[in-house]
A and B are shown apart, each in its own frame.
Chain A
Amino acid sequence: MPPSPVHKTSYLRSLWASRKGRGIIYQVLMFSFVTLLLLLLVSNAFYNMEQRGLKAGFGFLDRSAGFGIVQSLVDYDETSSYGRAFVVGLLNTILIASIGIVLATFLGFMIGIMRLSSNWLVSKIATVYIETFRNIPLLLQILFWYVAILKPLPSPLDLFAKGESFSFSFNNRGLVFATPVPQSGFSLVLWALAVGVLLSVGWYLYVSWRRRISGVHLPTMLPCFAFTLILPAMVFVAVGSPLEFSLPVMARFTYDGGTTIVIEFFALLWALVIYTSAFIAEIVRAGIQGIPYGQSEAAYSLGLKRSQTLKLVTIPQALRIIIPPLTSQYLNLTKNSSLAAAIAYPDLVSVFAGTALNQTGRAIEIMFMTLSVYLTLSLITSFVMNIYQSRIRLVDR
């Protein structure tokens, strides 16, 4: 009787018999399967790229892109490189995401608080708002605002005669306004603004310190407002208004000069804000309802008004519940801004993963860069959220 095969099977069998051994077998199987799959995919990719005469590498980023972008925050023209187009797209994504987040937060908190109003009609209006805009696809809302509302606006050609100059207009090309051109001495105003911001921060710290040691409330908003706005304004007037405006002038078919925020920006922004605010409102409602009613009752019996109770007692506590899902909504808004591709707002996806990909055919490199941007963003956010949540847990008793 040959002993070796029996020995082998019994060894495998004993490995299989324990949970730990089975785990090792599962892992080895899975590891080899994943590795094989990846190898297969990569070898296919190399073969296919060779067949199509494509070369891998990021060298194309330095080549001239050759297409125009209707809106860019940095200097860009057709001779700029693909790398530059990437930056333009990225900045446009950041622009719409940051403005959208601020507006959606305001609107969302407002609707969420309305939803909890003791007034039956007001709370029902908020409910209908939430249910309607949450349950209609975002893309449909974007197309609605773009195709049905904003595109039918009058064109500049309908509004202005040839040679006419104007300082401000909202037409189907977008928001057009005179470009401010800083003259000498404008840097003083910027310095005043910086000083104002510093003063506001200092004042805020002083106020919270006073409140901690003496319980006395000093006005915060008004002095901060005065520091950041009125101080620079006074310097501006004192220096002699060092700002000139270059007005857009109507040419034969369209206007020249001025600064334009394209209409696609407004369609996308408006849809994103309305859609996300409906979700934020629900988060706010759940957060406020998560605070025991005794907290508000205690505040009322201390003589606080309803608005004070919300501001000083309920919302600060509710924020603990609200902030984690709120950040994931912010992340969703940022990711959803990629729907810009549907109406050609020049964001990262539509400029880089759309136009640049179609021109260069560098699918792997371009998708890698685009996906990395969004991944980095989500990873950073969830990292920060984890820190925040662990800090909150320490505070919790």
Chain B
Amino acid sequence: MFFSFRNGILSVAAAVFLFWIISSLVNWFFLDAVWFGTIEDCRLHQDGACWPFVGVRFSQFLYGFYPSAERWRVNLVLGIFFGAIGLLVYERMPYRSKIVIFMLCVFPLFAWFLLRGGVLWLADVPTGRWGGFMLTLVLASVSIVASLPLGILLALGRRANTLPFVKAFCVVFIEFWRGVPLITVLFATAFMLPLFMPASVNFDQLLRAMVGFILFSSAYMAEVVRGGLEGLDRGQYEASDALGMSYWQSRKRVILPQALKIMIPGILLTIIGLFKDTTLVLIIGLLDFLGMIQAGIADPRWGSPNVPFTGYAFAALVYFCFCYSMSVYARYIEKKYSEGRDRR
């Protein structure tokens, strides 16, 4: 590291910079921070984080305005969700593909009815009371679960050279949603969906946002799938044709199982993008995780200069943990499969 004079200076400068950054962060977040107490303590010690702000509002950040007596439902759904992800990360898990199918097909319906209520003995919880981190996860999962099959169909359609109308439709659909910013899509569904629907159908704000997310994310998913389909060797298509398989047989048994494997890193990156993009619902007035934190910061009773810093740092930490772990996993999968390919 100190081989040359110039490199030595660079190292020293970098080390000083690092020391300065790390020491000021540690001071601000830990040593000078207010850990217990009320807003009064935060106002007295302004040169550190105000953790009571996060502590007091933690349940709101997590559940939004979900009635406290019913929060066990959210906990149950979150428990199954993270439990299944934990099981899936373990590679020698038996019935791994069955768990994936359960999570993609059965669980979303189960979770929706459990969270929404109004069936059986479960009390009705209107979506207007959903919020916080739970809403972030709901938005992200709904758009992922819906956009995967839609994206696969769109990508297959885009590659169907013998079906000009289908192909044109898919190209226009994909390029349209990819060409416009998500926030305009959300505005469009928020303001225009009621105009295009029959008067009897009433979409609440959350459903409108979900429609926007699904349209938007399926276009992005389609491009990832198309990349996977194009990355597959031509011989696979020709071989399955030569075996006399029909279009859907060959897609189901030969093409997609191999292509999906190549796509997993791309799909994960799209999921990271989607997860970050769910924050945009704050602009159309839904209170997701960031929205809840923003509402807490704007609350005049918690007015203190260190509160915004603390709130945003906490939010950034949570988003970072989720996105970074997904991107690490994506890189791991990519490496694993590329090693598998190189071995041949």
Contacts and interface: CB of A to CB of B under 8 A. Distances in A.
Interface of A: 19-20, 23, 26-27, 30-31, 34, 41, 44-45, 47-49, 51, 117-122, 125, 131-132, 134-140, 143-144, 147-148, 152, 335-336, 338-339, 341-342, 349, 353-354, 357, 363-364, 367, 370-371, 374-375, 377-379, 382
Contact of A148 (B18, B195, B283, B308): B308
Contact of B163 (A23, A370, A379): A23
Contacts of B196: 41, 44-45, 48
B10 interface: yes
B191 A363 contact: yes
B11 interface: yes
B312 A371 contact: no
Interface of B is mostly: helix
A374 B14 contact: no
Interface stretch (B74-82, B112-120, B182-190): B182-190
B187 A132 contact: no
A30 B10 contact: no
A131 B324 CA distance: 7
Interface string B108-145: 00000000000000000000000000000000000000
B14 A125 contact: yes
A371 B188 contact: yes
Given A139-B282, A139-B290, A341-B283, A121 B192 contact: no
A56 to B, nearest CB: 11
A367 B188 contact: yes
B195 A49 contact: yes
What are the 6 closest A-B residue pairs judged by CB atoms, nearest first?
A378-B179, A135-B323, A335-B181, A137-B276, A148-B308, A121-B14
B302 to A, nearest CB: 13
B84 interface: no
Given A120-B1, A367-B187, A367-B192, A31 B165 contact: yes
Contact of A140 (B10, B180, B316): B316
A349 B184 contact: yes
Interface in B292-337: 294, 297, 305, 308-309, 312, 315-316, 319-320, 323-324, 327
B289 to A, nearest CB: 10
Nearest to A354: B187
B180 A137 contact: no
Given A136-B320, A140-B290, A143-B312, A375 B10 contact: no
Contacts of B95: none
A338 B195 contact: no
B167 to A, nearest CB: 10
Contact of A152 (B11, B188, B191, B305): B305
B297 A147 contact: yes
B175 to A, nearest CB: 8
Contacts of A138: 276
A200 B323 CA distance: 47
Contact of A342 (B160, B178, B282, B315): B282
Nearest to A381: B179
Contact of B324 (A23, A135, A140, A148): A135
Nearest to B157: A30
A34 B175 CA distance: 17
Contacts of B319: 135-137, 140
Greatest chain B CB density within 10 A among A138, A147, A349, A364 is at: A147
A233 to B, nearest CB: 35
B316 A27 contact: no
Given A30-B165, A139-B279, A119 B192 contact: no
Given A23-B163, A135-B323, A137-B319, A349 B312 contact: no
Contact of B7 (A51, A118, A132, A363): A118
A137 B162 CA distance: 41
27 contacts: A19-B247, A23-B163, A26-B163, A26-B166, A34-B169, A44-B195, A44-B196, A44-B198, A45-B196, A119-B14, A121-B15, A122-B11, A132-B320, A135-B319, A135-B323, A136-B276, A138-B276, A139-B282, A139-B283, A140-B319, A339-B183, A339-B283, A363-B192, A363-B195, A367-B187, A375-B179, A378-B175
A44 B197 contact: yes
Nearest to B281: A139
Contacts of B305: 152
Contacts of B89: none
B187 A148 contact: no
A147 B196 CA distance: 37
Contacts of B7: 118-119
A339 B187 CA distance: 12
A349 B320 contact: no
A374 B184 contact: yes
B277 interface: yes
Contacts of A26: 163, 166
Nearest to B321: A135
B39 interface: no
Nearest to B247: A19
Given A119-B7, A143-B312, A336-B181, A51 B199 contact: yes
Given A357-B191, A367-B192, A339 B280 contact: yes
A385 B280 CA distance: 29
B187 A357 contact: yes
B169 A48 contact: no
Contacts of A139: 279-280, 282-283, 290
Nearest to A147: B308
B17 interface: yes
Given A335-B182, A379-B175, 17 more contacts: A23-B160, A23-B163, A26-B163, A31-B165, A45-B195, A48-B196, A121-B1, A122-B11, A132-B320, A135-B320, A144-B312, A341-B283, A357-B191, A371-B180, A374-B184, A375-B179, A378-B178
A125 B316 contact: no
A31 B167 CA distance: 12
Contacts of B290: 137, 139-140, 143
A305 B164 CA distance: 55
B184 A371 contact: yes
Interface string B11-38: 1001101100000000000000000000
Contacts of A354: 187
B102 interface: no
A48 B191 CA distance: 13
Contacts of B14: 119, 121-122, 125
